[in-house]
């Protein structure tokens, strides 16, 4: 291909046919999820009321590759293969000898990487006769991806949307409704969990933790409904590896290979999708720097403990071994809502603990500065979450400017910021602030956690 190519594009026939499962390649075994009540390892049967069996199998699979069903591939083709861009204009603006690439997931109908797993999850649910999927959503990125996927497979979709977002950010709600989903401001009076919270706190703005509890209860108490999660779990990360597998094929076409990979992490699915196929090479000896970028106001990887904790505030989910700030930690209200999670995917946590992944935390203002530089050179407007990866990519390129090293940098460009323009407005008019996490708050939140022993092998 020409050296000055802007996009490296695969043909439809070149979409990878398998997802990559990193589980068998890990440098140490994953600690099992534990039952929230008994503290004992949780089995497939206990998850069956809320997940279809095929996804439970994927969650614990030790097969290195998982075939992507044809029906899923057919939907993927609406936006996949996604383009790998060479950021010539950004490089020029920075005056760096580095080669910067970005894998652009913003062209999916929902505008982010989320549909990669939403489509797969909807398919497996449909296959097992499920009629309806319940889920939670904060600002609506995940809810809109699942609404889209359910719509294409003829499934009903119930979304418990954090009340504050439901009221203040109607656009993603309307997007979900356009795709036929039913959205409710959480807490609702449709579940026990919701009713209890409303009785205690009638004016609560809701939280992701409460919304998870409602969606799980909905699925567990209705035979024809299941629950779906948009990040954290192994099978979700598995589905996202299509991103990195495509990127590898594209780098091969370009005759290049990344020295540095930058991805933002909230629950970890976007990062894992882009990075895991390259981490496979790193685990085989390849020299790559893998940067997991999180907000300073919610620094689970850089400041949290690696231990068992609950996935939700209400302590209803299984206990997961992960980097956590404590399930009672409430991050500052930064605009990168998708990164405001107290924990981290167990797979990413383990790889970070083993030194394979290097975590890094950024302040909000710096990420918006990077996002505007990106928009003014490459044209595209990054989501505030994506802006964290862009910031890291720019910083690495600027280091190359200092050292003269011609490194190859890959930015995982997870989504667009068309629904985040109010945040850009605040940045451009100097109304944005940086939020430091409170060390005291984290220490207090961690101190409250019960100490859970690692189960014996």
- Residues of the shown chain interacting with its own copies in the complex, contacts defined by CB under 8 A: 2, 4-7, 9, 11-13, 74, 77-79, 85, 89, 107-109, 111, 148, 151-152, 170-171, 174-175, 177-180, 372, 375-381, 418-419, 421-422, 424-425, 428
Q: Which is nearer to its own copies, 220 or 372 (CB)?
A: 372
Looking up tokens 């407007």 gives 381
Whether the bond between 318 and the residue before it is cis, its omega within 30 degrees of 0, is no
* Closest distance of CB 373 from its own copies, Å: 11
Looking up tokens 């991103």 gives 243
* Closest distance of CB 207 from its own copies, Å: 25
Q: Which is nearer to its own copies, 201 or 418 (CB)?
A: 418
Q: H helices of 105-162, where?
A: 115-127, 141-153
* Closest distance of CB 237 from its own copies, Å: 23
Q: Which is nearer to its own copies, 181 or 400 (CB)?
A: 181
Q: H helices of 190-299, where?
A: 192-200, 208-220, 234-254, 269-283
Q: At what angle do helices 234-254 and 269-283 cross, to 10 degrees?
A: 60
* Closest distance of CB 122 from its own copies, Å: 12
- Contact call for residues 240 and 161 (beta carbons, < 8 A): no
- Contact call for residues 127 and 51 (beta carbons, < 8 A): no
Looking up tokens 């802007």 gives 6
Q: Which is nearer to its own copies, 84 or 291 (CB)?
A: 84
The token pair at 296 is: 């300073």
Q: How far apart are CA 297 and CA 442, in angstroms?
A: 11
Whether the bond between 89 and the residue before it is cis, its omega within 30 degrees of 0, is no
Q: How far apart are CA 206 and CA 190, in angstroms?
A: 14
Q: Which is nearer to its own copies, 62 or 174 (CB)?
A: 174
Q: Which helix (H) or strand (E) holds 412?
A: strand 408-413
* Closest distance of CB 106 from its own copies, Å: 9
Q: Which is nearer to its own copies, 190 or 372 (CB)?
A: 372
Q: Which is nearer to its own copies, 310 or 424 (CB)?
A: 424
* Closest distance of CB 290 from its own copies, Å: 27
* Closest distance of CB 186 from its own copies, Å: 20
The radius of gyration computed from the CA coordinates of the chain, to the nearest angstrom, equals 21
């Amino acid at each position: 291909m020409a050296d000055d190519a802007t996009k490296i594009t695969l043909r439809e026939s070149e979409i990878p046919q398998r997802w990559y499962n990193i589980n068998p390649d890990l440098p140490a075994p994953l600690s099992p999820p534990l039952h929230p009540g008994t503290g004992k390892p949780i089995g497939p049967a206990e998850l069956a009321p809320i997940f279809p069996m095929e996804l439970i199998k994927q969650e614990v699979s030790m097969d290195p590759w998982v075939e992507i069903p044809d029906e899923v591939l057919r939907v993927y083709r609406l936006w996949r293969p996604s383009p790998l861009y060479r950021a010539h204009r950004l490089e020029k603006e920075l005056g760096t000898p580095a080669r910067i690439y970005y894998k652009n997931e913003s062209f999916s109908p929902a505008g982010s990487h989320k549909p990669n797993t939403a489509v797969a999850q909807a398919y497996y649910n449909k296959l097992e006769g499920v009629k309806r999927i319940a889920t939670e959503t904060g600002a609506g990125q995940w809810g809109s991806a699942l609404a889209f996927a359910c719509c294409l497979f003829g499934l009903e979709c119930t979304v418990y949307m954090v009340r504050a977002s439901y009221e203040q950010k109607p656009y993603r709600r309307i997007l979900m409704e356009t795709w036929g989903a039913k959205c409710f401001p959480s807490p609702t009076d449709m579940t026990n969990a919701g009713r209890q919270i409303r009785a205690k706190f009638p004016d609560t703005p809701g939280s992701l933790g409460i919304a998870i509890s409602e969606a799980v209860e909905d699925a567990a108490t209705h035979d024809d409904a299941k629950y779906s999660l948009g990040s954290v779990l192994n099978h979700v990360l598995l589905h996202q590896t299509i991103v990195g597998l495509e990127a590898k094929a594209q780098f091969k076409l370009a005759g290049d290979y990344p020295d540095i990979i930058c991805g933002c992490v909230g629950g970890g699915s976007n990062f894992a999708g882009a990075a895991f196929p390259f981490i496979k090479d790193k685990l085989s000896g390849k020299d790559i720097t893998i940067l997991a970028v999180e907000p300073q106001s919610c620094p689970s990887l850089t400041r949290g403990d690696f231990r068992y904790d609950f996935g939700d505030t209400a302590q209803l989910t299984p206990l997961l071994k992960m980097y956590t700030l404590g399930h009672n930690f409430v991050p500052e209200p930064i605009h990168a809502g998708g990164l405001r999670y107290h924990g981290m995917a167990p797979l990413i946590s383990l790889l970070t603990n083993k030194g394979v992944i290097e975590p890094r935390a950024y302040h909000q203002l710096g990420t918006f500065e990077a996002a505007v530089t990106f928009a003014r050179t490459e044209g595209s407007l990054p989501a505030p979450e994506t802006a964290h990866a862009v910031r890291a990519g720019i910083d690495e390129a600027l280091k190359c400017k200092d050292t003269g090293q011609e490194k190859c940098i890959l930015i995982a460009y997870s989504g667009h910021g068309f629904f985040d323009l109010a945040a850009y407005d605040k940045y451009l008019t100097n109304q944005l602030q940086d939020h430091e996490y409170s060390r005291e708050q984290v220490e207090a939140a961690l101190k409250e956690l019960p100490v859970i022993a690692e189960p014996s092998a």
